Structure 1
Amino acid sequence: IIFKMTVLLYFLINLSYFIPHITGNVDNADVNSRDVQYAYIVGKVYPPDEQFGNSWQQETYVHLAGGLQKGFIREDGSFVFTNVPPGSYIVSVTNPRYIYEPVRVEINSKGKIRARKVNHIQTSQIIQLPYPLKMRPISQTRYFQVREQWRIIDFLFNPMVLMMVLPLLLVMVLPRMMNDPEARKEMKQIQNFTNYDMPEMSEMITSFFGGGNQPKPRSSKQTKKKT
């Protein structure tokens, strides 16, 4: 009885698997996977110098989407990523001695490819690039910070130096300005302008809060009547 039950169960499992394929009711996921058009991303990596040799090819790698696919370059510097589904990907080149600018590649559902610059700050700004990709080095990799050299400008604009030099300059320049007759006239004009009779602050406050000029007090002496 147990043997018959196992055989019957095995038969039912196989029957449930083959019925959809016989009737044509295939899973939607299988249909969608067949409808998806996979694309090829093609490009070429250029060496930093034409006379650089072939050693740079051994140290150069091409990455798709940060490691989704990783590949080497051919002798002529070309590379190909196969079976890439629709989406947006960043193609980057890594080399221990040179820095390459990454490129964003967008693939639509129809398999059309568009390349543009990577801009993480202004994502809405689109600057298209030619396709197939052309990856060129932008600078040499620096692993150590360059030592700053001594410059006379940095020394002169130092705050401590300015605090010491400016008073000395004023001490040397002001006496010469006082000996100049034109400078003396200007100084006198400034002094005369500041010596004008200005109302005191206390009088201004009392007149403002007192409602104007107060009436003068009457004299205590009365005029004598004429006899």
Structure 2
Amino acid sequence: MRLSTTTAAVLAAVASNGLLGPAAVLAANLTFTVPPHPALLPGGASSLPGSTHATLHARGPPHAAPLRRDGTFVFVDVAPGSYLLSVHGRDHVFENLRVDVEEAVDYDSGNAKKTEKVRAWQTFRGNEWANRGEKRGETSGKEAGQMMAEVRVLGRKEYYQERSGFSPLSFLKNPMILMGVFSLALIVGMPYLMDNMDEETKAEFEEMQKNSPLGQNPATQLQNFDLASFLAGKKDEQPQQSTQSGGSGSKKRG
């Protein structure tokens, strides 16, 4: 099917003015690299497994990019918007980036031309979207619509919990051990405390021991000890009742 000269001219004018749709014209190409880390990733992206991939999340369906042989993630024809970049790896944890693809007008060529301005910042999950971290990349004037940024590794994923060895500090932090050490120190140090007391304080302490429910017949008192009555300040009235009953019996006998 042949087009007429007028139809071809109209289509050429529409294409030159960018009226074929903003999605076909305004689209950015994004490239992300993983730099090597001396401790976590010494071999760089080449040592990552083949299942490693990156995703760009927005309101619509996410964009996905696999790990290429050169160790990069390439997203093609990304429409303007604000995206969250996440790198999913089997063995490592990577930082998240906020990627903004915005429409811009380029006046350097003499004619106003719509281009894409792309910027990337470090971001953090759980924080506000406006909370931006360190800038990771930005498009230059010569390469409008194309950006290359770095995605840094943060740590390794641990799937197994290592068995902790013996630690004297953790042994001493045990509550039962602390109670035993305190009781032993109290038993050993009490005689020295009593020897260093003055006579008046020592007499008061002995008087308190005599008035204590455990001071008289400790074996039976310990079995029948009432903690609530002791804390309330109540005294045992059984001895008085026994003396009264004994006295009344003697009178009857007489």
Deviation string, structure 1 residues 5-44 (Cα, Å, up to 9, x no partner): xxxxxxxxxxxxxxxx9xxxxxxxx876369722222221
Q: Deviations over 1:126-152 (max 9, x none)?
A: 213221321222222211222233322
What letter matches 1:64 in structure 2? Answer: L
Deviation at 1:166, TM superposition (A): 1.0
CA RMSD of aligned residues (A): 3.3
* Equivalences, count: 159
Structure with greater strand percent: 2
Question: Residues 143-222 of structure 1 correspond to what in structure 2 (within 5 A)?
Answer: 143-180=159-196, 184=198, 187=201
Alignment partner, residue 55 of structure 2: 63
Aligned position for 1:194: none
| Secondary structure, aligned partner of 1:150 | coil
Q: Which residue does the alignment assign to 1:142?
A: 158
Q: TM-score, normalised by structure 1?
A: 0.57
> What SS does the aligned partner of 1:130 have?
strand
* Structure 1: tracts of 5 or more residues without a match: 1-20, 22-29, 192-227
- Give the corresponding residue for 1:73: 67
Asked if 1:122 corresponds to 2:88, the answer is: no
Q: Deviations for 1:142-193, whole angstroms, at most 9, x for unmatched residues?
A: 112222333222222222222222122111112223333xx538957x99xx
Inter-partner Cα distance in structure 2 for 1:134 and 1:162: 52
Residue among 91, 98, 102 paired with 2:85: 91
With the length of structure 2 as denominator, give the TM-score of the two structures. 0.52
Q: Quick check: 1:49 aligned with 2:65?
A: no
Cα-to-partner distance string for 1:174-226 (whole Å, 9 max, x where unaligned): 2223333xx538957x99xxxxxxxxxxxxxxxxxxxxxxxxxxxxxxxxxxx
Q: 1:76, CA displacement in angstroms?
A: 3.0
Q: Show structure 2 runs of 5+ residues with no match.
A: 1-9, 11-18, 105-115, 138-147, 206-254
